[in-house]
Chains A and B, each alone.
Chain A
Amino acid sequence: MTLLDIVDLEKEFGGLLAVDDLSLSVDRGELVGVMGPNGAGKSTLFNCVSGVVEPTDGTVAFDGEDVTGEQPEVLARRGLVRTFQHTRQLGTMTVRENVRLAAPDQAGERTLPALTRSQGMQETERRVVERADELVEAFELDHLADEYASNLSGGQRKLLELARVLMLDPDLLLLDEPFAGVNPTLTNDIADRIRALNDEGMTVVVIEHELETLTALVDRLVVLTQGSVLVDGDPETVLEDERVVEAYLGE
């Protein structure tokens, strides 16, 4: 069953076609890798899908509904959540707060329940606190829980971002270079977590331009060049494809 269906997507930035007539669909439960040389349009593809930029043309359907140009917050609430290539953390908030923020449907985020501190609101907040602590611990950030996120190292920021998006319990998770700037041990660790999430049923799309990490992780590999899909298939076949070899050697 198709969860994400991208048809003839196009994004132009002042004459430059960052995404050019790209079509791609992802089934529920898949773990898909997206790779391609610098400037191939990988991040722009994520930006178009997650509502961060509006596509010039084409459609994006999520869970059977057309969501082209929908706002990021609406998509996130529907279960389509993404991370950023250049990790964006809420630097002026603690690690704990970063994670708690992301919990969906919090009564305490509305004025009246926040003021009255109703029973229901307190109950929700207790669950949020508990779940956030679990995630912070699972990502081995507990010793940093009260640290401001701006004080974290690059690798820790990647972990924090993962913990934060998992708070939303997404149906589709888009990860933009979750291994960038992360040491090899942590890379393996993050890869294991991604696989575990996928095993539990989460659909995940991972961008990465390091071949090795990605091929070992995913079931299916999509290679982009110049804004469109060059090859799409299982990792072994894709890696043997002449065009891929060429694209990468030509870099």
Chain B
Amino acid sequence: MSVADRIRDGDGTLAAVAGVAAVVLALLFAVSPFTVGLPGELSVFVEVGVLFGLYVILVLGLDLQYGHTGLVNFGHVVFFAVGAYTAAILAAQDSFAGTSLGYPWPLALVAGVLVAAVVGAVVGATSLRLRDDFLAIATLATAEIFHTVTVNFSGTFGGSTGIFGVPQPVAAVAGDFGKTMLATLVLFLGLAALTYAIVTRLTTAPYGRVLRAIRADELVTRSVGKSTFRYKMQAFVYGAALAGFAGGLFALYNGAVAPSFFTIQVTVTVWIGMLLGGASNHRAVIGGLAVIMGLRLFSRFANDLAPVTSGEFASLRLIVVGMILVLVIRYRPAGIWGDAEELGVDS
């Protein structure tokens, strides 16, 4: 094993330890008698931090699919949404819109992961054998269809109102708002670190070698005896399951789900984060995500100072993000921390 292999591996172990520690700490803190007052100015940071934890789980799944295996998934949000809706419908109690079944939340969370994986398997089975670009279209279409379904089948999904009354386990034990937010932040960052550890372990093993070989040249990979379709299915389903997990966590944190939480904006953010940081390098994609989400956070403050309406400001922000992306593609086509040779792009 080369030195590089060992460092990469150690990295995963470190993240696993940190992840477990964070999860334990968060739970201990939540049940402890301590209270914290979260000042208003800080709460926006914590809120974005909580979302960041979930988005890290999303981007790691996408990096497994695209960064390693070369699968273009333009509908990542659908798996996030499926996980969230599944968890919400199963666990919610007495939601005034949609269906709420009132099952225990751990069951709902597991179901969210499984249903997202099944949706991933169905999409993968129907399009992974076809031409490469077909997956891009199929995933985009799936996301669109699911969005329409949630809006229109209000008996089940609650229409544009969504589903309320989803249990919030962290809030239930922590009590006050500040404490809940802090515990959730640490918990989600811990879970994100654990996800990083698992994904890293997988991709530094010979398993990851096969995935990268598929991205490089599928025919060569097949002609040395690897069943590439099976690997593509697995990578796709694992990514979907991770997104489903993030979705379930989101529902149980937010206490409600609605179509407006699951727009194409989610897919765009994780894609930009991944490309900005550097696909196929797990640390780089997280870095890229931090940049793009940091920018959004910064712009919230900037908006207060700028003499424009928030609508105008949102479009300005899009322009800035677009320009940053153009600059990165122009000068660092493999992303800020990406390796151009590993990605096969000319810089």
Q: B209, B222, B341, B343: which has the most chain A beta carbons within 10 Å?
A: B209
Whether B207 and A101, one on each chain, are in contact in the complex, defined by CB atoms closer than 8 angstroms, is: no
Q: Is A52 an interface residue (CB 8 A)?
A: yes
Point out the residues of chain B lying under 8 angstroms from A101, CB to CB: 206, 209-210, 213, 221, 224, 226
Closest to A76 in B: B225
CB < 8 Å neighbour of A114 from B2, B207, B216: B207
Q: Is B342 an interface residue (CB 8 A)?
A: yes
Whether A92 and B343, one on each chain, are in contact in the complex, defined by CB atoms closer than 8 angstroms, is: yes
Point out the residues of chain B lying under 8 angstroms from A91, CB to CB: 216-217, 344
Point out the residues of chain B lying under 8 angstroms from A5, CB to CB: none
Q: Is A128 an interface residue (CB 8 A)?
A: yes
For chain B residues 219-275, which have a beta carbon within 8 Å of chain A?
219-228, 234, 238
For chain B residues 65-121, which have a beta carbon within 8 Å of chain A?
none
Whether A97 and B209, one on each chain, are in contact in the complex, defined by CB atoms closer than 8 angstroms, is: yes
A122 to B346 alpha-carbon distance, docked (Å):
35
Query: Known interface pairs A73-B222, A92-B215, A101-B224. Does A150 touch B341 (Cβ–Cβ under 8 Å)?
Result: yes
Query: Known interface pairs A92-B343, A115-B202. Does A77 touch B225 (Cβ–Cβ under 8 Å)?
Result: yes
Min CB distance B68 to A, Å, is 11
Whether B341 and A72, one on each chain, are in contact in the complex, defined by CB atoms closer than 8 angstroms, is: no
Point out the residues of chain A lying under 8 angstroms from B202, CB to CB: 111, 114-115
- Per-residue B-contact encoding for A39-83, CB less than 8 Å = 1, 0 else: 000000000001010000000000000000001110011000110
CB < 8 Å neighbour of A109 from B220, B226, B342: B226
Q: Is A93 an interface residue (CB 8 A)?
A: yes
Whether A88 and B201, one on each chain, are in contact in the complex, defined by CB atoms closer than 8 angstroms, is: no
Point out the residues of chain A lying under 8 angstroms from B217, CB to CB: 88-91
Q: Is A143 an interface residue (CB 8 A)?
A: no
CB < 8 Å neighbour of A52 from B201, B219, B238: B219
Query: Known interface pairs A81-B224, A92-B216. Does A109 touch B207 (Cβ–Cβ under 8 Å)?
Result: yes
A84 to B217 alpha-carbon distance, docked (Å):
12
Point out the residues of chain B lying under 8 angstroms from A125, CB to CB: 1, 206
Point out the residues of chain A lying under 8 angstroms from B220, CB to CB: 84, 88-90
Q: Is B295 an interface residue (CB 8 A)?
A: no
Q: Is A168 an interface residue (CB 8 A)?
A: yes
Q: Is A106 an interface residue (CB 8 A)?
A: yes
CB < 8 Å neighbour of A92 from B205, B234, B341: B341
Whether A168 and B201, one on each chain, are in contact in the complex, defined by CB atoms closer than 8 angstroms, is: no
Whether A90 and B213, one on each chain, are in contact in the complex, defined by CB atoms closer than 8 angstroms, is: yes
User: Contact size class for A?
Assistant: 35 or more
Whether A108 and B205, one on each chain, are in contact in the complex, defined by CB atoms closer than 8 angstroms, is: yes
User: Contact size class for B?
Assistant: 20 to 34
Whether B207 and A88, one on each chain, are in contact in the complex, defined by CB atoms closer than 8 angstroms, is: no
Min CB distance B264 to A, Å, is 29
CB < 8 Å neighbour of B201 from A50, A97, A104, A114: A114
Min CB distance B31 to A, Å, is 30
Whether B225 and A148, one on each chain, are in contact in the complex, defined by CB atoms closer than 8 angstroms, is: no
Q: Is A182 an interface residue (CB 8 A)?
A: no
Query: Which label, helix, strand, loop or mixed, suits the secondary structure of the B interface?
Result: helix
Min CB distance B284 to A, Å, is 15
Whether B234 and A93, one on each chain, are in contact in the complex, defined by CB atoms closer than 8 angstroms, is: no
Whether A102 and B225, one on each chain, are in contact in the complex, defined by CB atoms closer than 8 angstroms, is: yes
Point out the residues of chain B lying under 8 angstroms from A167, CB to CB: 224
Query: Known interface pairs A91-B216, A146-B2. Does A81 touch B223 (Cβ–Cβ under 8 Å)?
Result: yes
A109 to B212 alpha-carbon distance, docked (Å):
12
Point out the residues of chain B lying under 8 angstroms from A52, CB to CB: 219, 223
Point out the residues of chain A lying under 8 angstroms from B219, CB to CB: 52, 72, 88
Whether A92 and B225, one on each chain, are in contact in the complex, defined by CB atoms closer than 8 angstroms, is: no
Point out the residues of chain A lying under 8 angstroms from B228, CB to CB: 73
Whether B224 and A164, one on each chain, are in contact in the complex, defined by CB atoms closer than 8 angstroms, is: yes
CB < 8 Å neighbour of B224 from A76, A97, A128, A146: A76
For chain B residues 174-216, which have a beta carbon within 8 Å of chain A?
198, 201-202, 205-210, 212-213, 215-216
Whether A117 and B216, one on each chain, are in contact in the complex, defined by CB atoms closer than 8 angstroms, is: no
Point out the residues of chain A lying under 8 angstroms from B212, CB to CB: 90, 92-93, 97
Given A90-B221, A115-B205: 20 more A-B contacts, CB < 8 Å: A50-B223, A73-B227, A81-B225, A90-B217, A92-B344, A96-B2, A97-B212, A97-B213, A100-B209, A102-B224, A104-B225, A106-B206, A108-B205, A109-B205, A109-B207, A111-B238, A114-B201, A117-B201, A125-B1, A164-B224
Q: List 14 A-B contacts (CB under 8 A).
A: A71-B222, A73-B226, A84-B223, A88-B217, A89-B217, A90-B216, A92-B341, A96-B2, A109-B206, A111-B207, A115-B202, A125-B1, A148-B342, A168-B225
What 9 A-B pairs come out closest when comparing CB atoms? A114-B205, A108-B206, A76-B225, A90-B216, A114-B207, A102-B224, A92-B344, A77-B225, A148-B341
Interface residues of A (CB under 8 A from B): 50, 52, 71-73, 76-77, 81-82, 84, 88-93, 96-97, 100-102, 104, 106, 108-111, 113-115, 117, 121, 125, 128-129, 146, 148, 150-151, 164-165, 167-168
Interface residues of B (CB under 8 A from A): 1-2, 198, 201-202, 205-210, 212-213, 215-217, 219-228, 234, 238, 341-344
